[in-house]
Each structure stands twice: as structure tokens, then as C-alpha cells.
Amino acid sequence: MRPTTAPRRAGAALAALALCLAATALTACGADTDTRPPHAPGGLTARAGSATSVHVMWESADPADGVTGYQVFQSGRLVRELPADKTMVDVTGLTAQTAYAFTVRARDAAGNRSAPSTAAQVTTPGAKAEDHLPPTAPPATTGSTEGPRAVRLSWTPATDDTGVTAYDVHQGGIRIHTAGAAETSTTLTGLQPGTAYSFTVRARDGSDNSSPDGPVVALTTPDDPAQGPGTAPGAFTAAVSPGAVDLGWTAPDTGRETSEYQLYVNDQPVTVIQFGAGAVPKGRASYRLTATEPAGTAWALKLRARLPDGTWGAFSEERRITLAG
């Protein structure tokens, strides 16, 4: 009896399908391939931070572009590659009194690259020999919110024996923005709605000497109805007594009781505060933190809550204290 060809044909079809599934991105099966590049990054700026460094910043990509990283170019030469959550970088090792041009390109998961951004031009200042004296701190800083995702900061100019070259904006001890020497205000974007922030400004000179922090500006962005309620603990307070610090706050509205909080001191996590079943405070919460460090030690404290989905929420306002003896 002559065997039928149907099983042979079926086996061939299955083998072809297996090869098709193994092909990258299913291209052999006729599936669509992502060939559309992201949009070019916007809002590119370049500020000389010193005689040998430039701070480059740009706006975050639209989430719809699926950007996974950025490439920074100096006069067409690739000098830095960054993940998608980084939108600024210091380019170092430059030459004093030299003009530079920087561009940025976005890259997506398929390897598509955007067109280069508009170039940002900058000239580094002259080097100052043996300058070890930092600028003074900006004497005054003020701020206001500009919607759920932006704030406006202003400061009075600092002074320096060789001249201020830049102002660095810090949030929670981390630099998030650099402004030019002639600027006394800036708008910070990309913030989270319903979130408490603490901003400080430092001046910097051509030898990269940084001033102390200027006055702290505490701002809370308004809630965005499309984003739901804020996740930061509210009305955070820290009262100092000998050997202890008494903390107080209002629990965020997460839809459930909040029984776990993470406490940071000087930007480092130091403990997790947990309230057991039946002991979760309703409304106002409090906690006494034992302090064994010497009197006069400076602390910056902030708090965040564990959310119902298991992640940590936004930080409370930062409180700065000096321990008592």
C-alpha cells in the first residue's frame, strides 16, 4: 500500500512554522517590523559648569515613542550613552575657552534612532589657576508651582572672587538642573503631581568649587485628577529633644490603611516604620526616633509610604534639624 503524502506535507508545514517562529521579530512570517524612529529630543541646553566641563540637558521623550535611551554627541562625535530615565549629563575633559556644539538622539527598543536634536552651542570659560575658594551661597530663594508637573524657582545672585559660572539646583540632595551664570530663575518640569519637594540652589565657579546650599524652598505640586490622589505623607514634622526626634505626619489617601513607611536620613534609608494589625493610626501618625549621634549633628529627614501595590510612594517634604544634647 502506497503511503499518503499528507503527513509528509503536514510535517513540512510544522517545520516551516517552527523556523518562522524562531526568526527574529517574526519577519519571516510577514509580521510588521518597527521601523519608525522616535522624535528628536527637544529643549536641549548646554551650560558651561567650569573651564573643562559642560552640563547638557534636554526634555524627556513622549512615552508613546517608546524611547529606551539617549546618545549625546559633541560636534558629531558620540560621547555619552544614557538610559531613558536620564535627561542630563556632565561632559568633562574639555578645553578652556573653547566653543562646543552638542546634539542628542533618542533610541527605541528596536534600535531606531531619532534625527539629531537642534544643536546647543556653548563656550567654556577661561581656567583660573589655584582657585580653591568657593562662591557664597545664593542669599535668597523663592518658588511657586506651575501646575501638577512643574515649579518655578528664583534666587538672588551669589558672589565669587573669580566669578560664578553656573547655578546647580538640588532636590533631596541630588542635582537635577544647572542654570547659567547670568540666570536667576528657572522652570523645572517632569515632576510628579501631588508630591512634596525640597529645592536648594548652589553656585559654582570656573574651578568647579561649589557654594553651600542656599535657603530651602519646600513646594508641593497640586494633584492631577487624571493621576489619582497624591502618595506623599502630608504635614511631615520633626521635633528635636535630647536623645530623640519625634516625627509626625498624615497618612496619604491610598484607598487602604497605610501600615509601613520608609524613613530617610541625609538621603539614606535608615529604618522602616511598621504599624501592626489594629495599631495603624487613623489620620495623624507619630514615631519617636532614638538619636545616638552627638549634639549638633545635622539631619535631613523625609518619609515615604508603602502603597497597596507594594511599591513606595512619593516622599514627604524634607525636614532639616540639628540634634540636641
Tens digit of pLDDT for each residue in 119-168? 999 999 887 767 788 999 999 999 999 988 889 999 999 999 888 989 99
C-alpha cell at 115: 534625527
pLDDT of residue 262: 93
Q: Is the pLDDT of residue 88 over 80?
A: yes
User: What single-letter amino acid sits at 92?
Assistant: T
pLDDT of residue 172: 74
Tens digit of pLDDT for each residue in 214-263? 999 999 888 887 776 778 899 999 999 999 999 999 998 877 788 899 99
CA distance 38 to 67: 7
- Helix then strand then coil, in percent of the chain rounded to 5, is 10, 40, 50
pLDDT of residue 185: 95
Q: Which helix (H) or strand (E) holds 69?
A: strand 67-74
Q: What contacts 64, CB < 8 A, 6 or more positions away?
A: none
Distances (CA, A) of 161 to 134, 207, 302: 8, 11, 36
Choose among 211, 177, 227: nearest CA to 197: 177
The gap between the terminal CA atoms of the chain, to the nearest Å, is 102
Q: pTM of the prediction?
A: 0.55
CA distance 101 to 188: 23
Tens digit of pLDDT for each residue in 266-294? 888 889 998 887 788 878 899 999 888 89
Exposed/middle/buried for 281, CB within 10 Å: 0-12, 13-18, 19+?
middle
CA distance 217 to 231: 20
Q: Is the pLDDT of residue 213 over 60?
A: yes
